[in-house]
Chains A and B, each alone.
Chain A
Amino acid sequence: MIDWSGYIGLILQGALVTLQLTVLGSALAVVMAFTAGLARVSRFFAVRALATTYIEFFRGTSIFVQLFWVYFVLPFAGITLTPLQAGVLALGLNVGAYGAEVVRGAVKAIGREQREACIALNLTRYQSMRHIILPQALPLMLPTFCNNAIELLKGTAVVSLISLTDMTFQAQVVRAQTGNTLIPFTVILVLYFLMSWVISRSMRWLERRMTRGLDGVRA
């Protein structure tokens, strides 16, 4: 008989790493999404070009390659990262590139009429963005942000390739040591599902909070 408690403990430790990656990666992704997304609608060409380059580059190459670059190639440029830092950076930059297009789309979706009202009320561009456009654009972004966060969660498994001991990595360790595939992979299946369930529930809660009073109707 195998004593499973120690093995399960190992997987739970891995779950903690996965959770850390997801939370920190998402935080970086949100920052990048807003920075690049708002830069995409800037009136300065250079700012727009920079943002477009970032977005196209990170969407156009795989997360796998990006992770290897961050972890194995950056040290040649004198930047050495821990596996966790490398994982967070690669995941955050990658998902942030997708998020940037979501931010841009949502900002564009707040129509001309709202912008013109802002001009007629003599608000500056910054004030319009901060008080009128973004508060209305945010609820539009949330459903897609939710998808992105879940994608990021699932993407975290790729970090086992740079020997970060996340949930998937630990499941493989357990499988190698016990010869049993069913139990460790069922456990992480359930854990992944629980985590994404928590993400989607909390996003839905946020969305409800933000749209309170709007009644789905736009003036």
Chain B
Amino acid sequence: MPDPIIRIDNIIKRYGPLTVLDGLSMQVMPGEKLALIGPSGSGKTTILRILMTLETISGGHIEVDGAQLYHMPGNGGLVAADERYLQRMRAKIGMVFQHFNLFPHKCVLDNVTLAPMLTKGMARPVAEKRAMELLDMVGMADKAKSMPAQLSGGQKQRVAIARALALSPKIMLFDEVTSALDPELVEEVLNVMRKLASETDMTMLLVTHEMGFAHDFADRILFFDRGRIVEEGKPDDIFRHPKQERTQVFLRKIIAAGHRV
């Protein structure tokens, strides 16, 4: 049994008086595909943002790929990580956002090549060759010279996926990557993700309200409620035979709202 690639240990996250994550612990194995589901405000986005170091934490520890994420060795123990240390840790993790966050002043190709050239010192021809392979994989090679403003939402999101992949992270985080899209554009993005899941051994954490997709995509489902993991298990178990009352209520509501399971 290999070591977990992510070890989240008793994480507390507060915004003022509001406790958003309440002693959250979980582990993720290398290559595992995880779907995080649960009601709005339950802390799913927050834990992904914490893994991407976009937030600070109020307590607890996170280990990623064998090293502490928010702490580094120092003073004979652990001290708060500095910017340089975080920089090194971030290289292991990539994230795709709900609203794409493409760079509007750069063409599709430059969006993908920028970070590898700046952070890995990759030469332009090398970066472009790799970028074209990735754009090809997400079906966007013919739009390499387009500006983001000329693309549909689904196309933007596929570029954003290629952009994150260009840094070859070990772990990819997806936060509701289809929920800002028109319904007819959702499938093209999900198809890319299916391909990614089957063709790579990347560890993937996915927050989604697409229950059908979560079922097919994930090795394991985590059900979040009020800053805790209430139930976890294989997709079939969670969706067909949820044990916890709160999970059952949540899934019933989702089905009533017309979502596919």
Residues of chain A at the chain B interface (Cβ within 8 Å): 113-114, 116-117, 119-125, 127, 131-132, 135-136, 213-219
A-B contacts, CB under 8 A, total: 78
Q: Which residue of A lies closest to B159 (CB)?
A: A219
Q: Contacting B147 at CB < 8 Å: which of A125, A127, A214?
A: A214
Q: Which residue of B lies closest to A127 (CB)?
A: B118
Which residues B95-129 have CB closer than 8 A to chain A? Answer: 95, 97, 99-105, 107, 114-115, 118-119
Whole-angstrom distance between the alpha carbons of A123 and B94 in the complex? 12
In the A-B complex, the 10 residue pairs with the smallest Cβ-Cβ separation, listed nearest first, are A117-B101, A121-B115, A217-B149, A219-B148, A120-B95, A219-B102, A122-B90, A213-B147, A215-B149, A113-B101
User: What residues of A have a CB within 8 angstroms of the CB of B94 in the complex?
Assistant: 120-121
Known contacts A119-B52, A121-B114, A122-B167; A219 and B87 CB within 8 A of each other: no
Q: Contacting B105 at CB < 8 Å: which of A120, A136, A216?
A: A136
Whole-angstrom distance between the alpha carbons of A123 and B149 in the complex? 23
Between-chain CB contacts (< 8 Å), 30 pairs: A113-B97, A113-B99, A113-B101, A114-B101, A117-B97, A120-B93, A120-B95, A120-B101, A120-B164, A121-B115, A121-B163, A122-B91, A122-B115, A122-B167, A123-B115, A123-B119, A124-B83, A124-B87, A135-B105, A136-B103, A213-B105, A213-B149, A214-B149, A215-B150, A216-B149, A217-B104, A218-B149, A219-B100, A219-B101, A219-B104
Residues of chain B at the chain A interface (Cβ within 8 Å): 52-54, 83, 87, 90-91, 93-95, 97, 99-105, 107, 114-115, 118-119, 147-150, 156, 163-164, 167
Whole-angstrom distance between the alpha carbons of A123 and B90 in the complex? 10
CB-based contact A219/B156 at 8 Å: yes
Q: Closest CB-CB distance, A216 to chain B, in whole Å?
A: 8
Whole-angstrom distance between the alpha carbons of A136 and B104 in the complex? 8
Whole-angstrom distance between the alpha carbons of A219 and B164 in the complex? 16
User: What residues of A have a CB within 8 angstroms of the CB of B53 in the complex?
Assistant: 119
CB-based contact A122/B99 at 8 Å: no
Known contacts A119-B90, A120-B54, A122-B90; A215 and B147 CB within 8 A of each other: yes
Whole-angstrom distance between the alpha carbons of A116 and B50 in the complex? 12
Whole-angstrom distance between the alpha carbons of A215 and B167 in the complex? 29
Most chain B CB neighbours (cut-off 10 Å) among A121, A123, A217:
A121
CB-based contact B167/A121 at 8 Å: yes
Whole-angstrom distance between the alpha carbons of A136 and B149 in the complex? 14
Whole-angstrom distance between the alpha carbons of A216 and B150 in the complex? 11
User: What residues of B have a CB within 8 angstroms of the CB of A122 in the complex?
Assistant: 87, 90-91, 115, 119, 167
CB-based contact A214/B115 at 8 Å: no
Whole-angstrom distance between the alpha carbons of A159 and B4 in the complex? 71
Q: Closest CB-CB distance, A162 to chain B, in whole Å?
A: 43
Whole-angstrom distance between the alpha carbons of A124 and B119 in the complex? 8
Whole-angstrom distance between the alpha carbons of A113 and B103 in the complex? 10
User: What residues of B have a CB within 8 angstroms of the CB of A135 in the complex?
Assistant: 105
CB-based contact A131/B114 at 8 Å: yes
Most chain B CB neighbours (cut-off 10 Å) among A117, A120, A216:
A120
User: What residues of A have a CB within 8 angstroms of the CB of B105 in the complex?
Assistant: 135-136, 213-214
